[in-house]
């Protein structure tokens, strides 16, 4: 009977850990959602996977590296875009943008406020920057009110999957 190949097991374990660290550092990472700024799309304390290599599209849920913490927001404007909000309608480069992901929040806000999103703009997104907003417009710190335009280097990646709590596993968009 042969003994356990400890050296072989250690090599395999170290190799596996190295691969896991590379994947986490460069491809996919888990992040916590903190706060209510993305309700009802994402909820406080949910865990999401972030793809660090996915190309950005308008409407993506992105993770932004802040000074003290990370933020989860929806990508609205790209460099050079003209962004304007009038009568709760978003206009990008003069064209109305459908924000179907806000339908639940609009229903909840009926009778409480005139508009879910206050009027602003038109604003031009500077070169190498993005404009973001939370889905819970009444409770979101975003490009309109504190975060400002987001430098492209602060976008960590795109999230499309909630993996915890397990009863809430789902794809989000």
* Percent of all residues in the chain with a pLDDT value above 90, rounded to a whole number: 64
Q: How far apart (Å, rounded) are the C-alpha atoms in residues 43 and 168?
A: 10
Q: Which of 12, 29, 37, 69 is catalytic?
A: 37
Predicted pLDDT at 67: 86
Whether 65 is a known active-site residue: answer no
Whether 69 is a known active-site residue: answer no
Q: Is the pLDDT of residue 19 over 70?
A: no
Higher pLDDT, 143 or 28: 143
Average pLDDT of the segment spanning 111-132: 92
Q: How far apart (Å, rounded) are the C-alpha atoms in residues 150 and 15?
A: 37
Task: Specify the pTM.
Answer: 0.85
Q: In the structure encoding, which two tokens stand for residue 127, read together?
A: 């070169």
Q: Which of 2, 52, 69, 73 is catalytic?
A: 73
User: What top-level class would CATH report for the domain 30-171?
Assistant: mainly beta
- With cut-offs at 50, 70 and 90, classify the pLDDT of residue 70: very high
């Amino acid at each position: 009977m042969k003994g356990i190949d400890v050296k072989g097991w250690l090599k395999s374990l170290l190799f596996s850990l190295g691969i896991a660290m590379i994947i986490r550092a460069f491809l996919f990472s888990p992040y916590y959602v903190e706060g209510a700024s993305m309700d009802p799309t994402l909820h406080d304390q949910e865990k999401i996977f972030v793809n660090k290599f996915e190309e950005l599209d308008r409407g993506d849920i992105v993770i932004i590296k802040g000074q003290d913490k990370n933020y989860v927001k929806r990508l609205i404007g790209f460099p050079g875009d003209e962004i304007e909000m009038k009568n709760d309608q978003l206009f990008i480069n003069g064209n109305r943008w459908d924000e179907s992901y806000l339908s639940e929040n609009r229903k909840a806000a009926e009778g409480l406020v005139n508009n879910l999103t206050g009027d602003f703009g038109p604003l031009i997104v500077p070169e190498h920057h993005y404009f973001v907003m939370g889905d819970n417009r009444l409770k979101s710190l975003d490009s309109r009110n504190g975060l400002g335009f987001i430098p492209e280097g602060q976008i960590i990646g795109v999230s499309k999957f909630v993996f915890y709590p397990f009863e809430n596993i789902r794809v989000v968009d």
